[in-house]
Structure 1
Amino acid sequence: MPREDIAFQTGDNVTLRGWFFTPEAASATPLPCLVISHGFTAVKEMDLDRFAEHFTSSVQISCLVYDHRGWGASDNHPSAPRHETIPYLQASDIQDAITYAQSREDVNKEKIGIWGVALSGGHCIRVGAVDRRVKAVLTLVPVVNGLENGRRLAKPDSAPVFNRIFEEDRVARAAGKPAATIPVVGLDPNGTAALGTVEAYEWLSKLGGKHWKNEVTVRTMQEFQSYIPEAYIKYVSPTPLLMTVAEDDYLMPTDLALAAYAKALEPKELQIIPGVHFGAYGPQFEQVVNRQIEFLKKTLLA
């Protein structure tokens, strides 16, 4: 599918970079657009092109794919370090991506959807609740409650360690020192990786390549715990919502996602797929995208 390198500015003048996908056959009229962003620490080269290509080859839609600020090809704010995730800023950047999409002559400004996975799945819930330019919300294995999610992932004796690391980092940054970092993934049972699971290690290490670095700021972990997108989920309505949940997801726990979905108002749809968190990139890919395409046909393409 045709792919164009693009760049756009955020409200605080950070340059975000990505790709704009269109169908093979040129359209004489502006097309609906799906804004696609990745999950925790991931970059666009980690299979987002695969999703966008599938959508644009299946239906008459364009896809805007980009890297979050401070990750991949995108810039970071001069006052902020790279590899730091502040959830509310990433959510705001989705809104700036929508604005960029609406500025394009080849985009139907009244037909904008947002697609997010894991952490950006949570962002899509938040943005869908407050930005009525959004006409469809697709969220895949989303983060819905960072505080409870973090507690589920943490080792039982890790709280004192992380509390000390958080405190030391804030003191150091206030003194003008560089932000402290920890690995995103790792297999050391005594380590301080953000995601200390074999599943996360294998997926991120395999797809990361030269575009991804196994590093995230300490502040990111504290910000993650304070992020609770499910507080917004009932306000997504009347915008249509599709939530895809994995049956055996322990990274973004299944029961948390289902409890959040129960709070959403109509119109809403739930897809439950077999397997674990990253299954949508592998054995469940076709099942996921085919359901998402059917949802798009009823919403953006109707």
Structure 2
Amino acid sequence: MENRYAVGPEQTKQFTTEQLRNEFLMESLFVSGEINMVYSHYDRVVVGGAIPTGSTLKLDAGDFLRTDYFLERREIGIVNIGPKGTVNVDGEVYELNKRDCLYIGLGKKEVTFESEDTSNPARFYFVSALAHKEYPTRVLPIAEAEPTKLGSDAESNNRTIYKYIHSEGIQSCQLMMGMTLLEPNNMWNTMPAHIHDRRMEVYLYFDMEEESRVFHFMGQPHETRHLVVKNEQAILSPPWSIHSGVGTNNYTFIWAMAGENYTFKDMDFVKMEDLK
């Protein structure tokens, strides 16, 4: 488990590109045969990736969380971004095809990951947040998730949003999670930009070609920065920061949020003329 402390906007203004990447970019979540995790002090989220290639991989933070088991005080959302796999939750097995989501609530003691075909393994991405109440474990296949169409080809942001974990979908304490798919020849997401100072967000960019890149924009609206992101890399987005991106090709990304408000209505939109 890698530990990352929160930094503020004034400190971030002084960062070099390397410092910016070290604080906010997660470059190596997905490693064959391993679970890799990052603990962020922004709303205490844990971000991770698991690729089971041999033996079963167990969700275990060792002594980092100082709890008896990972979900003792937490909830978690898991999305499979690869071939078919299974997640075993206290003896109950849940199958996940590509882009299916699984929510596991507070108090489940044992969570393990397996691939149906270890030579072509599943790729599990997960985000965990603190929880105060147990909600039922639930699978939501992407085929059953309600799609929302936004944007247009003229704006280069024709996209479909699938909401998995939210107030009208899978219930949770504070974790919100979903996925956005951009249509071919569309590259922009979330522009005009916005901030939500009451909750942080995590972006995972995937389904990208090896040579493709996303230029992820962050920072305060009047003091923006950018990070160059490859396939299957993730970004920690602080509550004070915009979070928007443009790719060299179309791409898919998973967004997850945790914090004060359990709503999509607390966003503060930024006028294009105010971005600098």
The two structures share one fold, judged by TM-score above 0.5: no
Normalised TM-score (structure 1): 0.25
User: Which one has a larger percent strand, Structure 1 or Structure 2?
Assistant: 2
TM-score by length of 2: 0.26
